[in-house]
Amino acid sequence: MKQRIITALILAPLAIGAIFFLPLQFFMLFSAVIFLLSSKEWGGFVSKAPSSLTLYLFGLVLGSTLLLIPIEHIWVNGKINAYIIYGLFAAAIWWCLSFVMVITYPKSAGLWQKSKVIKSFFGLLTLVPLFWAMVVLRSVNIYHEFYFGGALLMYVFVLVWAADIGAYFCGKKFGKRKLAPNVSPGKTVEGFLGGLFSAMIVALSVGIFFTIAEDKMLPYLIASLITIIVSALGDLSESIFKREAGLKDSSHLLPGHGGILDRIDSLTAAVPVFALFYLLWLS
């Protein structure tokens, strides 16, 4: 616990500072570093003897998307680049597939557990949309109101943190029924509902405090609710890949916390889904 607290006290200010204060070009670089570190960890899911091939492949794919959508083309005449929307839709489809994989596990693992290609493809569908969703949310209105996009991205982080904290305490106090026993035996239905309730209190409070327009309030709450639900799916999905790889943590990079993927597993689903809803409903 001491290690967890010390690591969190170091990392949290760095992450928050990067979200709010870095210019977009440097924030993209910050996000790319997270992407590459996570890609290296995903290599451990692909093979029990991981090589640098996964890292190079993932880096090549990310670089290709950056050539396709340079920073000045993220927004065109005030509208988001169509390729980004397509990518976020692909992410939404992936998380629907991931839901099916979770509820049918371990039977579903028989379709992909021995294929390095499929597991690598799943990694790309998890990490590339996360990178672009982070960049897109941070870039919203950046030239007119610099901190607005940072606040949007930070909101998703806070939703996920509230859900995690609520799930932990409610699960510990009231947890009886297993949420996904074949995937993560420690998670309970009561914990999940407690996390959902905690995060929705945060969403409602933020909506009232920032006086979100009446016609936007319902879409905002629905988007927040779905974001919270899929954040749990991101956690469970990573648990499947760790279980299949025989790993407790994705790496030992962060003392007391495991790896980067262990810390961003919920965000891999939550950030792209919220970004898609924001672009379609709330912007």
C-alpha to C-alpha distance for 127 and 63, rounded to whole angstroms: 13
Q: Would you place residue 80 in the very low, low, confident or very high pLDDT band (cuts 50, 70, 90)?
A: very high
pLDDT of residue 7: 78
For 243-250, the CB contacts below 8 A with 24+ separation are 243/183, 244/45, 244/109, 244/113, 245/44, 245/45, 245/48, 246/48, 247/44, 247/45, 250/41, 250/42, 250/44, 250/45
pLDDT of residue 50: 65
Tens of pLDDT, residue by residue over 53-76, are: 899 999 999 999 999 999 999 999
Do β-strands 184-188 and 178-180 pair in parallel, antiparallel, or remain unpaired?
antiparallel
For the cut 90, the answer to whether the pLDDT of residue 4 exceeds it is: no
Mean pLDDT, range 221-243, rounded to an integer: 97
User: Which H or E run contains 185?
Assistant: strand 184-188
Tens of pLDDT, residue by residue over 137-185, are: 999 999 899 999 999 999 999 999 999 999 999 999 999 999 999 999 9
Q: Residues 157, 267: contact at Cβ < 8 Å?
A: yes
pLDDT of residue 18: 96
pLDDT of residue 52: 83
DSSP 3-state of 66: helix
Mean pLDDT, range 218-247, rounded to an integer: 96
pLDDT of residue 11: 86
By percentage, how much of the chain surpasses pLDDT 70? 99
Q: Would you place residue 255 in the very low, low, confident or very high pLDDT band (cuts 50, 70, 90)?
A: confident
Other C-beta atoms lying within 10 Å of the C-beta of residue 97: 14
Domain limits, the chain: 2-282
For the cut 90, the answer to whether the pLDDT of residue 126 exceeds it is: yes
pTM to 2 decimal places: 0.95
